[in-house]
Amino acid sequence: MKGAGADIAAFGGSAEFATFLSVTASGVKYETRTEDDYRTAIRRLAKVTAAAAGSPSSKGDVT
């Protein structure tokens, strides 16, 4: 969907974008100290991803 969100072609397509998200989520665990901080960081990553993809869920709270 052109204009609906980020152009993931910059990542090499959808499979590579999924890999990028997986690696990013995995790396978050090394930057957080508590489980609550980890959950907060993953929620933030989900919100950023939803906003980039133009998802309707980017307007709401991710639980």
The Cα–Cα gap between 39 and 35 comes to 6
Q: Per-residue confidence at 10, pLDDT binned at 50, 70, 90?
A: confident
Residue 7 burial (C-beta neighbours within 10 Å; 0-12, 13-18, 19+): exposed
Domain that holds residue 28: 8-59
Q: Does residue 3 belong to any structural domain of this protein?
A: no
Q: Does residue 54 belong to any structural domain of this protein?
A: yes
Q: Does residue 1 belong to any structural domain of this protein?
A: no
Structural domain count of the chain = 1
- Its pTM stands at 0.62
Q: 55-59 long-range CB contacts below 8 Å, 24 or more apart?
A: 55/5
Give the alpha-carbon dihedral of 46, 47, 48, 49, to 10 degrees.
50
Q: Does residue 2 belong to any structural domain of this protein?
A: no
Per-residue model confidence as pLDDT tens digits over 23-55: 998 999 899 999 999 999 999 998 888 887 775
Q: Does residue 19 belong to any structural domain of this protein?
A: yes
Q: Does residue 46 belong to any structural domain of this protein?
A: yes
Tokens 């929620």, residue located = 43
